Structure 1
Amino acid sequence: MSRSSDEEGSSRDGAVSPGDASGEFDDEAVLLVGHGSRREKSNEQVRELAVGLEERLGVPVDVGFLELAEPTIPEAIGSLAPAVSEITVVQLSLFAASHVKNDVPLAIQQARSEYSDLTLHNGSHLGVHPAIVDLLDDRAAAVEADLSVDREADDVAVVLCARGSSDPDANGDVHKLARLLYEGRKFDRVESCFVGVTEPRLQDALHDVAKHRPDSVVVLPYMLGDGVLTQRIRDRTAEFDDEYPYVDAAAGDPLGTDSRLLDVLGDRWQEARTDSVRMSCDTCKHKVELDGYEEDVGGARAMLRALTHQESHADRESVDEEPHTHDAPEKHVAVCTNQTCAADGAPAVLERLRQSVRDSEECDARVTRTSCLGRCGDGPMVAVYPDGVWYGGVDQNDAERVVSSHLDRDRIVSDIVDQTL
């Protein structure tokens, strides 16, 4: 992408300013990470935001995708690494769920190991931001105009509908955003809900809102792109509108490529490059033991899940699959090949595991290398996921036993178990 060094910074008070013509950022680039979609229109939206962000910051901005589209994050970093000494990763994710907490940090950690002379900063997600609240207010106003209602005179209820996550921290931010949208505005009420994964679901939220008999219900899809889930929200809203004739209901547009997202991305870029990123660790299920999520505590567990997710997209074939359907292997085996384990013979163990898996007629597993598992001196370390079984001091003969016993027959090799998660 071309570099622009004389564009104005964000118009929002306090937003970042771009580099100047002196070339302050000549050795820096930004990597905008999007989720990735089979719908090329959604991927083009990410690229469009990247162009706008480059113009806003005066820094080259490239795009990388987590899955389903190219280039991947490793490919994007690999293409930038020869040209710059510093890359700031900015994440086009609405909330801090598994992609933000696990998958992107894993990709960055792997890149740091591969490019020792490259400085990599990891930015946070879009999150709860005043510019996004303003954007949602405008999306609601557009629906109100279509319905010919006046929030000053009519009772208008808003239902903010997000995708839904298995991470309570991410879901909690949806409720916070809904409350911020309600404060100071003439809405009768603002409710939050989800289209999947968790509750309350959209249809339940709509029926609950109807009990208060508002004049109109505005449904706001809290999503970036216009895809399968957004259409599902529109369909459910239309069904509700037919079922309740005394309420006018309609769904608005997703966030899309609105320029206010550049305000947020610019702030996240500045935070990352100045090492001032703050994540909500006090409510992170990988950091603290939350009721109902006890089994998710632990950085090592999160890392292995990220590895599994990273591998699970490799064998997808059908473009008609539902979002996030995986054709994944039954087991994932991660072998630590960091310095200490490598010196103890981890590369040979890795190859013996791979060969044994190939030779087996029963085994459905993928074997990959990983960086340090935090058990230096007890290796070579081998972790089998999703079972959460870690083996220590594994040699080549043990590798064959791990395959023939654990992977083939689900029988743990007890004498080399280091720990279970």
Structure 2
Amino acid sequence: MDPDEEAVLLVGHGSRRERSNEQVRELAAGLEDRLGIPVDAGFIELASPSIDEAIAGLAASVSRIAVVQLSLFAASHVKADVPLAVRSARSAHPDVEIHNGSHLGIHPAIVDLLDDRAAAVEAELGADRDEDEVAVVLCARGSSDPDANGDVHKLARLLREGRAFDRVAASFIGVTEPRLEETLHRVATARPDAVVVLPYMLGDGVLTERIREGAAEFDAEYPYVDAAAGDPLGTDSRLLDVLGDRWQAARTGSVEMSCDTCKHKVELDGYEEDVGGARAMLRAVTHRESHADREDVDDDPHAHDTPDAHVAVCTNQTCAADGAPAVLERLRQAVRDSDACEARITRSSCLGRCGDGPMVAVYPDGVWYGDVDESDAGRIVSSHLDRGRIVSDLVDVTL
């Protein structure tokens, strides 16, 4: 191994639609040409290689790896799933320096790219931004994280500043409000000459198609307004500018995340139950495992096919010394022997309860058992998982 050798792992979400995965690989190849160092692609879920597999492949030949995230905003994947995978990789490869970079976020190159996407739609509609009233609706996927949704509104504002748009409104295709249909109807009340709908997506998938359909329906319903949807970000070279900046920040340890409005860090109205690093980490584990058997449902690209329960066993140093590996294997055997439950048993990194373990967390119930030994594993399965009865004498905390 060359001690000075450095590599980048570009992490995409992952999709059962291979064209979306190829987009990540194409950007990885472009970034490799730009930086002049190895760049591999890895995926959070649904595609190969996974983050741990990709890091293992790079770790054999490099001493430093910078993880750069191909996510638009900082929601649960950025704040929980990827950090969890990086933390695990650091334990598996102690001789390799692994830095976790940030998401794409808000960047001048992205604002310029969106402006060009809008100009292409204006040309299609025959609109002149300097003469006609042109409104833009920036439509993102939508998240359960208010911090991520807030950045969509910020990006919309930046897109309007200094440009001759009549207005730029933020909207979402799912999860949160305002939804695209509602936003388009509201925009129509100002009677603009043209409405440009910009899908704030990386790929041309199911959600992008829904946005196009929404724009077409609006265009048909309002004959006095010309409306059309633009293209997603795709693999435009300006994304490489952003990724290059994110790589530089990662490798120099200067990554900055917004923690002041992160629902996992501070208590926000309506999101009180989401506060807590350990809780967020367990949610990430559960979410990651729940996607393992997901079906490829065309009309619901984020459908889940989940087990009845997910059980995470802390196998960090302290719990491992107290017998956690034996507890893990006994739980797995008990579940295999049971005819009454469907549960997934996995390892977990530290749950923050050192000295009270081995720790066993059962989700979605949010019950954490402490000081569990091998003989207790059968009770957890036969009572809690089989019959829904909590083993009260083992309970450490409930979330």
Equivalent pair of 2:314/2:324 in contact (CA under 8 Å): yes
Q: Report what 1:346 is aligned to.
A: 324
Q: Map of 1:182-331 to 2, 5 A cutoff?
A: 182-318=160-296, 320=298, 322-331=300-309
The structural deviation recorded for 1:170 is 0.4
> What is the CA distance between 1:319 and its match in structure 2?
5.7
- Give me the whole-angstrom Cα distance separating, in 1, the residues matched to 2:350 and 2:308: 23
**C-alpha separation in 2, matches of 1:25 and 1:272:** 18
Counterpart CA distance in 2 for 1:342 and 1:26 is 34
Say whether 1:153 aligns with 2:108. no
Conserved 8 A contact 2:3-2:62 = no
Residues 102 and 246, structure 2, Cα contact 8 Å, conserved in 1: yes
CA contact (8 A) 1:26 1:59 kept: no
Q: Output the CA distance in 1 between the equivalents of 2:45 and 2:349.
A: 21
In 1, Cα distance between equivalents of 2:54 and 2:299: 26
SS at match of 2:253: coil
Matched, 1:112 2:90: yes
The equivalent residue for 2:385 is 407
Residue 69 of structure 2 contacts residue 103 of structure 2 at CA under 8 Å; is this kept in 1? yes
For residues 26 and 323 of structure 1, the distance between their equivalents in structure 2, rounded to whole angstroms, comes to: 42
**Could you tell me which residue of structure 2 aligns to residue 28 of structure 1?**
6
- State the 1:208 CA deviation: 0.1
How many angstroms apart in 1 are the aligned matches of 2:304 and 2:356? 33
After superposition, what is the alpha-carbon deviation per residue over 1:94-147, rounded to whole angstroms, capped at 9, x for unaligned? 000011011111111111111111110000000011110011000000000011
Q: Does the alignment pair 1:397 with 2:382?
A: no
Whichever residue aligns with residue 169 of structure 2, its letter is: E
Flag the 1:25–1:257 CA change in 2: closer, same or farther, 3 A. Answer: farther
1:235-292 CA distance string (max 9 Å, x none): 1100000000000000000000111111110010000111110100000000000000
Name the CA distance, whole Å, in 2 between partners of 1:320 and 1:214: 34
Distance 1:42 1:401 in 2: 44
Matches of 2:148 and 2:391, distance apart in 1: 38
Supply the distance in 2 between the matched residues of 1:26 and 1:119 (Cα, whole angstroms): 11
Q: What amino acid sits opposite 1:265 in the alignment?
A: L
Secondary structure of 2:260's aligned partner = helix
Question: How many residues are aligned here?
Answer: 398
Q: 1:360 aligns with which of 338, 347, 369?
A: 338
Further displaced range: 377-386 or 155-164: 377-386
Report the residue type matching 1:150 in the other structure: D
Structure 1, 92-101 or 363-372: larger mean CA deviation: 363-372
Deviates more, 1:31-40 or 1:244-253: 31-40
**Equivalent position amino acid for 1:298 in 2:** G
Q: Deviations over 1:361-394 (max 9, x none)?
A: 1111111111111111111111111211111110
User: Offset at 1:397?
Assistant: 2.0
Q: Which residue of 2 aligns with 1:103?
A: 81
In structure 1, runs of 5+ residues without a counterpart are 1-23
How many angstroms does 1:214 deviate by? 0.3
Comparing 369-378 with 82-91, greater Cα deviation is found at 369-378
Contact 2:16 2:296 in 1 (8 A): no
User: What is the one-letter code of the residue matched to 1:338?
Assistant: N
Residue type of the partner of 1:351? E
Distance in 2 (alpha carbons) for counterparts of 1:318 and 1:146: 34
- Residue 172 of structure 1, aligned match among 133, 141, 150: 150
Tell me which amino acid in the other structure corresponds to 1:110. Answer: S
Q: Distance in 1 between matches of 2:232 and 2:225?
A: 22
TM-score, length of structure 1 as denominator length: 0.93
Alpha-carbon contact 1:25-1:59 (below 8 Å) kept: no
Per the TM alignment, residue 316 of structure 1 is displaced from its structure 2 partner at its CA by: 3.0
**Contact 2:297/2:303 (8 A) holds in 1:** no
SS of the equivalent of 2:195 reads strand
